[in-house]
Amino acid sequence: MARILTLTLNPALDLAIRIGSIRLGEVNRTESTRIDAAGKGINVARVLAGLGHDVTVSGLLGTDNETLFVRTFTELGLHDAFIRVPGETRINAKLSETGGRVTDLNGPGPMIPAHALDALTERLESLLPGLEAVVISGSLPPNVTPAKLASLVFVARARRVPVWLDTSGAALVAGLGARPSGVKPNEKELADWAGHPLDTSEARLQAALRLNSEGVEDVIVSAGAEGVIWAQRGDALMAESPRVSVVSTVGAGDTLLAGMLHGVLSGWPREQGLRFATALAAESVRHIGVGDPRTADFEQLQRQTIIRSLTSDARTGGSLG
């Protein structure tokens, strides 16, 4: 399997809370709680390691509450290359209500010393030889600039290592300027980049194709129940997700990205990779945590995932909705 590095600049301890419905200003009883070492890159690493890849995790990690992260990395067989920084890694609360609504309460993250950012660049350069892909995902700590994220993309691309980017806002704009190999925005993140609403599949497709034309070879657009668009060098596919009961959408996008990267690095046909990744993301929303391809009905979920060519639809005048 492939050697992959994930970079998480702003990891978190995710406190996942299941509750029937939230009554603001009152005492609420939870159905369950759990806390996990998380952050988007770490979630991606969980999936990729479970699929058999050799995964190294890096980024910026607070020393004061690193114990659960270190234990998790050991349990999952991940290589720990995080740069330690003073203070605590942030804690995020994820409140999942019956019916699938999720409320995120995300902390800002610690202040990062300048020397730690220099050390992270040096660490990245030392890890690049032999890598088949780098994933840079998640938000930025308060004093880390979007330009710094872009510089990390540049460093990897200068060594001709494929870089997949999953972030938002100014960080996404800056990162795209460094021309990553692939990017995975959701529909809101893509609309923020485009500067106007993307309320239809056609609008999302055109925005994805625009990114292709600007040098980003692979664009994966996730739109929840409305499916997934994969535009690659001007040729686009769409996956219609299987219908499942939603418990939590936290980690679904990370699962999708990991599943896509698994298919690409395994040399699968595009239809096979998109079907696998979309089904795996659908599996993930049925419970708290990332997707599990070993679940008993995963093959059925893949069969229920419909793939079609948007490029063919456009050529024949078909409507994308």
CATH code for the domain in which residue 237 is found? 3.40.1190.20
Distance CA 38, CA 289 (A): 10
User: What percentage of the chain carries pLDDT values higher than 70?
Assistant: 97
pLDDT confidence band for 313 (50 / 70 / 90): low
Question: What is the chain's mean pLDDT, rounded?
Answer: 94
Q: How many residues does the chain have?
A: 321
Pick the last residue of a domain from 165, 180, 195: 180
Q: Is residue 150 part of a domain?
A: yes
Distance CA 92, CA 35 (A): 9
pLDDT digits (tens, 9 = 90+) for 102-137: 899 999 999 999 999 999 999 999 999 999 999 999
For residue 95, pLDDT beyond 80: yes
Q: What is the mean pLDDT of residues 302-311?
A: 94
Q: Is residue 175 part of a domain?
A: yes
Do 157 and 170 belong to one domain? yes
Please check whether residue 236 is in contact with residue 299, taking contact to mean a CB–CB distance below 8 angstroms: no
Do 6 and 69 belong to one domain? yes
Pick the last residue of a domain from 180, 213, 232: 180
In which domain, by residue range, is 195 found?
184-321
Q: Is residue 26 part of a domain?
A: no
**Quick one: which of 86, 42, 79 has its CA closest to 64?**
86
Do 147 and 193 belong to one domain? no
pLDDT confidence band for 312 (50 / 70 / 90): low
Burial degree of 52 (CB within 10 A; 0-12, 13-18, 19+): exposed
For residue 315, pLDDT beyond 60: no
Do 125 and 271 belong to one domain? no
Q: What is the pLDDT of residue 316?
A: 45
Q: What is the mean pLDDT of residues 130-148?
A: 97
Pick the last residue of a domain from 180, 206, 221: 180
Amino acid at 68: L
The total domain count for the chain is 2
Q: Is pLDDT larger for residue 16 or for residue 68?
A: 68
Please check whether residue 273 is in contact with residue 232, taking contact to mean a CB–CB distance below 8 angstroms: no
Q: What is the pLDDT of residue 321?
A: 45
- State the first-to-last Cα distance of the chain, in angstroms, to the nearest integer: 38
Do 146 and 255 belong to one domain? no
Q: What is the pLDDT of residue 246?
A: 87
Do 190 and 291 belong to one domain? yes
Do 170 and 222 belong to one domain? no
- Active-site positions? 254
Distance CA 191, CA 9 (A): 24
Do 168 and 191 belong to one domain? no
Q: What is the mean pLDDT of residues 45-49?
A: 98
pLDDT digits (tens, 9 = 90+) for 149-206: 999 999 999 999 999 999 999 999 999 999 999 999 999 999 999 999 999 999 999 9
Do 171 and 290 belong to one domain? no
Q: Is pLDDT larger for residue 26 or for residue 224?
A: 26
Q: Is residue 188 part of a domain?
A: yes
Do 276 and 165 belong to one domain? no
For residue 314, pLDDT beyond 70: no
Do 213 and 133 belong to one domain? no
Do 228 and 135 belong to one domain? no
Distance CA 136, CA 127 (A): 14
